[in-house]
Amino acid sequence: MNKPVSKVREAKLELYRKQGKIHARAVDGRFNRLRWALVWLTQIVFYGACWLSWESNGSSRQAILFDIAHEKLYLFGLVLWPQDALLLALVLILAATGLFLVTALAGRLFCGFLCPQTVYTAIFTWIEAKVEGDHLARLKLDRSPWGASKLLRKSFKHALWAIIALWTAIAFVGYFTPIRELLPSLLALQTGPWEAFWLIFYASFTYVQAGLAREAVCQHMCPYSRFQGVMFDPTTANVAYDRRRGEPRRTRGQGAGGDCIDCGICVEVCPTGIDIRDGLQYQCINCGLCIDACDQVMGRIGAPRGLIRFASEHELAGAPAPQGLGGRPRVAVYGALLLVFSALGVGYLAERSLLLVDVLRDRGALSRETAEGRIENAYTLKLMNLDDAPRQYRVAVSGLPGLEIVGSEQFTVAAATIRPVSLTVSAPGGVLPSGIRPIVFEVVAAHDPATRVREPSSFALP
């Protein structure tokens, strides 16, 4: 006796859930096309940006470089120093707040379209499909006994995965070691120990995460999937099944019922192997592939699209949409935080001084008296030129009558470097009472008098 249709369907779907690796069925549609557009965009940026050069002071350097050895971050014409950690912290806070805002508006959009895990899994799965065939061929191959053909196909797939993983690691390390130096050193097998470690680590990481672990990362490892729920509210649009429209499901031969014909294709295309008809689940990455699949099914049966769609709890319950931001407190709070942190970032950049000065008094000899009877103190000034061009600075000192600098007062500092300069300051002797007196050094940039730093110090009088 034949099994009831729904039992056959359930048994088929179990193939996608319980056979170890999930082999999702390919589907075309607007969300799949958007996903691939973003795969291309992110990968062109990631693999390409490390090759961009930036002309600075007649020489060329890598446009984006995290120069850890010299504690600098080059971003085109901007050079950031450890002193700019606040700006980096603001950028991270902005990124997190932006993610919260997007999540409150439309659920896990980042996961479905921009997360590196999703992007690389899509690339690795595409390679797998090209080598091993469609989802059914892959399921069959996985269950078939090992032989020459299976070994060949699997080896070829893993070799391609390894090449992509290695190239990804080279691009990644190329943001920390100039890629035009890294590649020749790699080809000559003369890579430094740190570069070699990170190349092996990142290549292995990409290979394991995107090739072997895949959806398990979203299901079991990613912490974001666990706490995303706290950012949702009833107005958050998530990929959802319209139960009121779909139920009761129609099975083959049944004319009456809801719009869902229980074909199970929405489950077969799901990269995390879930059934969206069971409601919102933490494994759902909002990729929209089940929407593409179901829209095609609806087209075939002559029903309107959107049985599965981006919809909020409110909308699915038929409740009126909340008016204004008052009805969406989370969106209002995240939006306000985003504006505040953006303003802080812009304000920081606008106020950021491209000159920093440190004054160290020579502790070895507090003071000395010259043949002319003047008192001299020695200092070391650390002039930090944070700019991407060489700059000339004039140093002045004030705070005591007759105070002057002995020798040169002008110093040139190369682009994005720190120059320590030794300086002698002299004051008339026998005029001022003995003791430690406060003085002030003022350093002014020759090209822009607004770039100036006043740094307090002290002068010892015997």
Query: Torsion over CA of 127, 133, 136 and 138, rounded to 10 degrees?
Result: -60
By CB under 6 A, residue 222 contacts ligand SF4: no
By CB under 6 A, residue 264 contacts ligand SF4: yes
d(CA 450, CA 126): 56
By CB under 6 A, residue 165 contacts ligand SF4: no
- Of the residues 79, 115, 164, 270, which one makes contact with ligand SF4 according to CB under 6 A: 270
Q: How many residues at the interface with ligand SF4, by CB under 6 A?
A: 29
Distance of CA 273 to the CA centre of its chain: 27
Rounded to a whole number of angstroms, the minimum distance from the CB of residue 219 to ligand SF4 is 10
Is residue 264 within 8 Å of 337, Cβ to Cβ? no
d(CA 366, CA 26): 79
Handedness of CA 193, 194, 195, 198 (dihedral sign): positive
- Based on CB atoms, which residue is closest to ligand SF4, 290 or 378? 290
Rounded to a whole number of angstroms, the minimum distance from the CB of residue 43 to ligand SF4 is 21
By CB under 6 A, residue 50 contacts ligand SF4: no
Candidates 119-127, 282-290, 367-375, 444-452; binding stretch for ligand SF4 (CB under 6 A): 282-290
By CB under 6 A, residue 294 contacts ligand SF4: yes
Give the tokens for residue 30: 């607007």
Given the DSSP bridges, would you call strands 59-62 and 308-311 parallel, antiparallel or unpaired? Answer: unpaired
By CB under 6 A, residue 27 contacts ligand SF4: no
- Based on CB atoms, which residue is closest to ligand SF4, 290 or 425? 290
By CB under 6 A, residue 268 contacts ligand SF4: no
DSSP state of 87: H
DSSP state of 283: T
Candidates 35-43, 131-139, 277-285, 378-386; binding stretch for ligand SF4 (CB under 6 A): 277-285
Tokens 């690796």 sit on residue: 21
- Based on CB atoms, which residue is closest to ligand SF4, 277 or 330? 277
- Based on CB atoms, which residue is closest to ligand SF4, 170 or 285? 285
Q: Give strand ranges (E) for 301-431.
A: 308-311, 355-361, 368-369, 374-385, 391-398, 404-406, 410-413, 417-428
Give the tokens for residue 383: 């002039």
Backbone angles phi, psi at 368, to 5 degrees: -140, 155
By CB under 6 A, residue 107 contacts ligand SF4: no
Q: Give strand ranges (E) for 264-344.
A: 308-311
By CB under 6 A, residue 292 contacts ligand SF4: no
Q: Give strand ranges (E) for 68-227.
A: 72-75, 78-80
Is residue 407 within 8 Å of 424, Cβ to Cβ? yes
Query: Torsion over CA of 189, 191, 194 and 198, rounded to 10 degrees?
Result: -60
Candidates 115-123, 168-176, 274-282, 375-383; binding stretch for ligand SF4 (CB under 6 A): 274-282
Rounded to a whole number of angstroms, the minimum distance from the CB of residue 283 to ligand SF4 is 7
- Contacts with ligand SF4 in 304-333 (CB under 6 A)? 307-308
Neighbours of 333 (CB within 10 A): 15
By CB under 6 A, residue 115 contacts ligand SF4: no
By CB under 6 A, residue 261 contacts ligand SF4: yes
Rounded to a whole number of angstroms, the minimum distance from the CB of residue 233 to ligand SF4 is 19
d(CA 54, CA 77): 7
- Based on CB atoms, which residue is closest to ligand SF4, 240 or 460? 240
- Based on CB atoms, which residue is closest to ligand SF4, 293 or 381? 293
What is the Cβ-side half-sphere exposure of residue 102, based on CA atoms within 13 angstroms?
Answer: 14
d(CA 127, CA 5): 34
Candidates 185-193, 281-289, 335-343, 344-352; binding stretch for ligand SF4 (CB under 6 A): 281-289
Candidates 171-179, 273-281, 397-405, 453-461; binding stretch for ligand SF4 (CB under 6 A): 273-281
By CB under 6 A, residue 129 contacts ligand SF4: no
Query: Could you give the string, one character per residue 231-260, with x where binding to ligand SF4 holds by CB under 6 A and - elsewhere?
Result: --------x-x----x-------------x
Neighbours of 203 (CB within 10 A): 21
Query: Could you give the string, one character per residue 412-431, with x where binding to ligand SF4 holds by CB under 6 A and - elsewhere?
Result: --------------------
- Based on CB atoms, which residue is closest to ligand SF4, 217 or 263? 263
Angle between helices 193-206 and 179-187 (to 10 degrees): 90
Give the tokens for residue 255: 């004319």
Rounded to a whole number of angstroms, the minimum distance from the CB of residue 30 to ligand SF4 is 13
DSSP state of 303: P
Distances (CA, A) of 264 to 25, 88, 215, 294, 450: 11, 46, 19, 9, 68
Rounded to a whole number of angstroms, the minimum distance from the CB of residue 213 to ligand SF4 is 16
Rounded to a whole number of angstroms, the minimum distance from the CB of residue 23 to ligand SF4 is 14
By CB under 6 A, residue 274 contacts ligand SF4: yes
Question: Interface residues with ligand SF4 (CB under 6 A)?
Answer: 239, 241, 246, 260-266, 269-272, 274, 276-277, 284-290, 293-294, 297, 307-308
